[in-house]
């Protein structure tokens, strides 16, 4: 790679030589696969809901450069810049989430979307990376003693955001943010006693959700006992993997995408299994695992607590989202509408994920020790 000379000290030159090119390559591979899947899985869905054949594929290809811009732009930032950008995004998108209650668009019984002319966005997607960075700073600052009551502020912010998300309602997003936040709290040195209590609270929260939210209850019931209700989607999903076998039926030869309503988003992994087969699926799993584990390895080398916590939070968010999507598709857990990062269709998800990986790349760039936030 000789795009930039070793002696190049411009912003891009320094970026090239300090950024984690392995992670970048893996993410680019996922993005490329996402393009293939947009072309493979979305046309049949588009046709079914009455759009023209390549409606979703075209939109995804329009969102992609924006997502790449977010990713590259964010990765140019310094850790301090990451924190500033995340705080700014957090403020903006929290306001937008509140705005969804005032003039949001209701889709499938939830107010998650905000529409501006031809554009529509799901602001809560952007909260995830922004809050992960912000919470990391609070924990790190509290631990360093530079901010008293950092943990309390973090708890308050977390409680506020989760309340907002549950009001939408967006249980999946709330669970994900909770998991990331709890994980960061744990890494920040939360006493094990409190960690255990937090775990119990999390489980209690899920039980409460099961008891008071009927659609959550029905999904969990159907997972525990498939015969208790309609398990059509997951059945078709498993059938897709079986149809695919070792090498798949070939691009465009899948049949499950014809019947699954969310073949292009929540069940994109099943379409991949049917059309491209077991080997390609394993490669995808390995790519996700690689990004996550390499991220953890990078975080292990960190000397700065904020960077360690922020990196971990972003990675946990990225990894959990991938695990939940694939786990639902494979009936390892109750179905939960969550996109597969970079592979599923969805503009907000794609751009927010670009931002997430952008922050990650920025924080894992090779730096000399002075470049810390504190």
Partner 1 sequence: MIVGRRNNPESIRIEGDHKTAIETGRNRLMVAGALFSAAFLLIGVRVIDVSIFRSDSEPRYTRGVTKHEKNVGRADITDRNGVLLATSLNTASLYANPRLVLDPEQAAMKLSIVLPDIDVKAIEKKLRSDRGFVWLRRHLTPRQQYAVNRLGIPALNFQREARRMYPLGPLASHVLGYTDIDNRGLSGVERYFDKELRTRQRNLSLAIDIRAQHVLEQELGAAMKKFFAIGAAGLIMDVNTGEIVAMSSLPGFDPNHPGAIAEELRFNRTTLGVYEMGSTFKIFTTAMALDAGTVTLGGGYDATNPIRIARFVIRDYHAKKRWLSVPEIFMYSSNIGTVKMALDVGIAGHRKFLSDLGMMKPVLIELSETGAPLSPNRWREINTMTISFGHGLAVSPLHLVAGVSAIVNGGIYRSPTLIKRDTNTPGPGKRIISLETSLKMRRLMRLVVDKGTGQKAAAPGFLVGGKTGTAEKVSGRGYHRKALISSFVAAFPMNKPRYVVLAMLDEAKGTEETFGYATGGWVAAPVVGAVVRRIAPVLGLRPVKADEASREILAIEVPKKSDRERRVAAH
Sheet architecture: strand order including 110-116: 105-107, 110-116, 119-121
For partner 1, the closer of residues 1 and 242 by Cβ is 242
**CA angle at residue 49 from 96 to 33, to 5 degrees?**
75
> Should residue 89 be labelled a site residue for partner 1 when binding is judged by CB under 8 A?
no
Q: Residue 115 pairs with which residues in a beta bridge?
A: 120
> Does residue 29 interact with partner 1 by CB under 8 A?
no
145 binds partner 1 (CB under 8 A): yes
Q: Is 143 in the site for partner 1 (CB under 8 A)?
A: yes
- Which of 104, 129, 273, 334 touches partner 1 by CB under 8 A? 273
CA atoms of 356 and 295, how far apart (whole Å): 12
Q: What is 175-186 written as a DSSP string?
A: HHHHHHHHHHHH
Region of residue 248 (phi > 0: left; psi between -120 and 50: alpha; otherwise: beta): left
- Number of C-beta neighbours around residue 330 at 10 A: 16
Q: Please say which residue, 96 or 289, places its beta carbon nearer to partner 1.
A: 289
Closest CB 332 distance from partner 1, rounded Å: 6
Beta-bridge mates of residue 120? 115
**How many other CB atoms are there within 10 angstroms of residue 56's CB atom?**
24
CA distances (Å), origin 35, targets 24, 49, 172, 321: 17, 21, 25, 19
Q: 204 vs 245, which CB is nearer to partner 1?
A: 245
Instruction: For the CB of residue 56, give the shortest distance to partner 1 in the complex, in Å.
Output: 25
Letters for 332-361 (x = contact with partner 1 by CB under 8 A, - = none) are x-----------------------------
Among 323, 340, 356, 362, binds partner 1 (CB under 8 A): 323
Q: Please report how close the Cβ of residue 374 comes to partner 1 at its closest, in angstroms.
A: 9
The site map against partner 1 for 278-317 (x = CB under 8 A) is: x--xx--xx-xx--xx--xx-xx-xxxx--xx--x---x-
In the three-class reduction of DSSP (H, G, I as helix; E, B as strand; rest coil), residue 345 is classed as coil
Helix (H, G, I), strand (E, B) or coil at 106: strand
Contact set for partner 1, span 219-258 (CB under 8 A): 235-236, 238-239, 241-242, 244-246
**Contact by Cβ (8 Å): 371, 79:** yes
Query: Any contact of residue 197 with partner 1 (CB under 8 A)?
Result: no
Encoding tokens for residue 45? Answer: 């869905």
Closer to partner 1 by Cβ: residue 3 or 370: 370
Pairwise CA distance, residues 101 & 123, whole Å: 12
Tokens of 157: 């912010």
**Where does this chain touch partner 1 (CB under 8 A) — which range of 68-76, 108-116, 149-157, 323-331?**
323-331
Q: Can you give the binding site for partner 1, defined by CB under 8 A?
A: 143-145, 183, 186-189, 235-236, 238-239, 241-242, 244-246, 273, 277-278, 281-282, 285-286, 288-289, 292-293, 296-297, 299-300, 302-305, 308-309, 312, 316, 319, 323, 326-327, 330, 332, 368-370
């Amino acid at each position: 790679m000789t795009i930039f000379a070793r002696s190049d000290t411009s912003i891009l030159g320094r970026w090239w030589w300090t950024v984690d090119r392995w992670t970048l390559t893996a993410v680019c591979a996922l993005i490329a696969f996402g393009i293939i899947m947009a072309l493979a899985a979305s046309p049949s869905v588009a046709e079914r809901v009455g759009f023209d054949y390549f409606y979703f594929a075209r939109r995804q290809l329009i969102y992609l450069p924006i997502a790449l811009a977010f990713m590259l732009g964010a990765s140019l930032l310094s850790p301090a810049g990451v924190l500033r950008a995340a705080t700014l995004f957090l403020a903006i998108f929290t306001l937008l989430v509140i705005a969804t209650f005032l003039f949001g668009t209701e889709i499938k019984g939830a107010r998650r979307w905000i529409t501006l002319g031809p554009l529509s966005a799901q602001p809560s997607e952007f909260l995830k990376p922004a809050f992960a960075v912000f919470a990391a700073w609070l924990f790190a600052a509290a631990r360093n003693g530079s901010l008293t009551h950092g943990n309390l502020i973090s708890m308050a912010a977390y409680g506020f955001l989760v309340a907002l998300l549950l009001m939408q309602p967006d249980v999946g997003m709330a669970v994900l943010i909770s998991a990331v936040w709890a994980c960061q709290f744990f890494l920040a040195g939360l006493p094990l006693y409190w960690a255990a209590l937090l775990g119990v609270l999390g489980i209690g929260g899920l039980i409460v959700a099961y008891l008071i939210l009927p659609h959550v209850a029905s999904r969990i019931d159907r997972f525990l006992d498939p015969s208790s209700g309609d398990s059509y989607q997951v059945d078709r999903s498993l059938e897709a993997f079986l149809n695919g076998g070792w090498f798949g039926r070939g691009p465009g030869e899948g049949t499950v995408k014809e019947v699954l309503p969310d073949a292009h988003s929540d069940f994109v992994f099943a379409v991949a299994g049917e059309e491209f087969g077991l080997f390609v699926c394993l490669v995808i799993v390995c790519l996700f695992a690689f990004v996550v584990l390499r991220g953890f390895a990078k975080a292990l080398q960190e000397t700065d607590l904020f960077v360690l916590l922020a990196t971990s939070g972003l990675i946990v968010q990225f990894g959990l989202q991938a695990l939940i999507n694939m786990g639902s598709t494979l009936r390892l857990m109750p179905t939960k509408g969550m996109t597969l990062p970079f592979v599923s269709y969805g503009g907000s998800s794609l751009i927010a994920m670009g931002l997430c990986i952008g922050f990650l790349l920025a924080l894992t760039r090779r730096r000399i020790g002075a470049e810390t936030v504190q």
